[in-house]
Amino acid sequence: MRTVFDSAALAVPDRLEAWESATSASLIPTEIGSPDPLAFTARLGFAPLGEAQVTAMSYTSLSSRRSPRTIRISDPEFYQVALIRAGRQCIDQEGGRAVLGGGEFVIYDSSRPFEAVTGDGISESTILQFPKRLLPLAPAQVARLCAIPLPGDRGVGRLLAQFLVTVQDDHGDYTERDAKRLGDTAVDLTTAMLAHHLERDDPPLRSPSHLLYLQVVSFVENNLHRPGLGPATVAAAHRISLRYLHRIFQQHHHVSVSAHILQRRIERARRDLIDPRFAQHTVASIAARWGFERPADFSRAFRRHTGVPPHEYRRG
């Protein structure tokens, strides 16, 4: 993991302001304060994982505030999942409050104001940051878990914690393509952890509409290779009207049915493009494998989704 900030290299009066600049550049912009600026020390390193990123931080007592003004100036639309490694922290976000100790997770949303305060002594945390569009959960569902302590010492939380710590410690051994695949895994494990807590508090089987939504998502996942897959096909397969299908997605998902199908196809193709097993396959054949009949349509959609053309993405 590459160290990008170490307060020991700076003059004492410059450290707090430099830390605010470093965290704004490496994570998201926030307003930083400290009860004792002249005693402030901090260190930050990060490891890119494709579109995701793991950041390791240690710092003395401080406050970090993301205000409505800060959000208006810059909102990259990220989720941050923080694992507290040492010390105690308190995070408030829109009515939720988490008082956290070592081994606990908390998730927060860059698009919503929050304030975090750490206790005395040295605090350490490992943060997973990724674009919100990568998380296949509705924003309203995620909002229920923002600023809520989530255990990292058991169940799926323990799997995610062990994964992030290992990535942090061993990042130098990974290739760029390894890192992209590990970014996918990090988001998948985060999804599993959040879904576990959502289902525990509100089991999906209690809601017929949510059960139907899960069946629809599963059907889509199993039929992404079919060029004709679209809302009409999905509705017909489940013997419901198009209007009802769209209503189900409005209730339980953050994008439309068509957008979900396109996103999942792009994600599948993206993984294949960097998978050694498909190294001899052309970009066009990979596109066709996931339902894109015209290579030009795939190229345009892929570029909109990832920011780069598929051939360039493949070269890494």
What are the structural domain ranges in the chain?
2-175, 204-315
User: Which residues have CB under 8 Å from 32's CB, separation 6+?
Assistant: 16, 19, 20, 23, 62, 63, 64, 65
Residue of 14, 21, 57 lying closest to 37 (CA atoms): 14
**Contact in structure between 224 and 270 (CB atoms under 8 Å):** no
> What pLDDT score was predicted for residue 205?
46
* Phi/psi of residue 303, nearest 5 degrees: -65, -40
Question: Class of the 2-175 domain?
Answer: mainly beta
> What pLDDT score was predicted for residue 200?
72
> What pLDDT score was predicted for residue 255?
83
**Contact in structure between 24 and 30 (CB atoms under 8 Å):** yes
CATH architecture of 204-315: Orthogonal Bundle (1.10)
Tokens 């988490």 correspond to what residue? 98
Q: Which residues are paired to 268 by β-bridges?
A: none
Distance CA(125)–CA(226), nearest Å, equals 44
Distance CA(84)–CA(81), nearest Å, equals 10
> What pLDDT score was predicted for residue 201?
59
User: How do residues 259-273 score in pLDDT, each as one tens digit?
Assistant: 999 989 998 898 899
With both helix axes pointing from N to C terminus, report the angle between 257-273 and 242-252 in degrees, rounded to the nearest 10.
Answer: 70
Enter the pTM of the model.
0.71
> What pLDDT score was predicted for residue 202?
57
* Phi/psi of residue 110, nearest 5 degrees: -65, -15
Which stretches of the chain score pLDDT less than 70? 201-207
